[in-house]
Amino acid sequence: MTAIDPALTPFRAPPIQPLRAFQAFRRLVRNKEDTAQVFEIMRALSGGSIARGYQRMIGTVEGGRQAFLRAELAAKLDDPVWLAQFAPGTVGATYRAFREARGFTAEALADEARKVAADAVDLPHPVMWYSRRIRDVHDIWHVLTGYETDALGEACVVAFSYAQTGNLGFAFIGWGAAREIQRENRSVPARRAVLQAYRLGRKAAWLPALDYEALFAEPLEAVRARLRLGAPTVYQGVSPETRLALKLRA
């Protein structure tokens, strides 16, 4: 019997694994800085959403162009010379300030993903390239949507991401985090904030196919208007002090 070359086999979506996702979420609740658990959940629940997202992307003019170029966003986002060129008020300048204030790098996020799926993260395959793209735009979507990196802001931005990508992992993290936040502080409208974030994601333009390199040079407020990114009023109604005091509990 002739062996089948693995390189010639079609891309197959991983099976949905709810128990694995629940276990990873409990670990994430105990330590919200354990970003690897986010990727564990995504791997357990992504199913065919990544392949469907890629097919949607190549069905658009700009998305098809981006897929043809297949640029790795992480390389640009970690280039200080490239980031330094953007004028105040632009998406690029706001993103630059966002990451500098937090010490974030795109490569550090990629390293967290490699802890979960080292064999697949860097695979030279178009569907996996799309998966890396969704990973790398996470912090850009924080900037575009106005959600900060506190626990409630993260819950909201993943709910927004679920609306954009259809990936059940995002929905699971967003709703689960909202539940934990409300258990901790009942005065925080976490479920309403997450639901609004999902609705804002549904109303917005489809973001995965954007030319992010060109977008960085545009004024942030003009981009928000053009992409139909509504204000996250429920989230903004919670004081920064209250948001920063939140700690997901076991």
Per-residue pLDDT, 115: 85
Please, which pLDDT band fits residue 17 given cuts at 50, 70 and 90?
confident
Percent of the chain with pLDDT over 90: 73
Domain boundaries, the chain: 34-245
Please, which pLDDT band fits residue 28 given cuts at 50, 70 and 90?
confident
| Lowest model confidence (mean pLDDT) among 82-91, 101-110, 180-189 | 101-110
**Which is more confidently placed, 11 or 189?**
189
Instruction: Write out pLDDT tens, residues 115-126.
Output: 887 777 888 999
Per-residue pLDDT, 7: 45
Q: What is the mean pLDDT of residues 62-83?
A: 96
pLDDT of 134 strictly over 90: yes
Percent of the chain with pLDDT over 70: 94
Tokens 């060129």 label which residue? 85
Distances (CA, A) of 179 to 64, 136, 175, 209: 38, 27, 6, 31
Residue 171 has a CB neighbour count (10 Å cut-off) of 19
Q: What is the mean pLDDT of residues 48-64?
A: 95
| Lowest model confidence (mean pLDDT) among 42-56, 78-92, 184-198, 201-215 | 42-56
Per-residue pLDDT, 3: 47
Instruction: Write out pLDDT tens, residues 143-201.
Output: 999 999 999 999 999 999 999 999 999 999 999 999 999 999 999 999 999 999 999 99
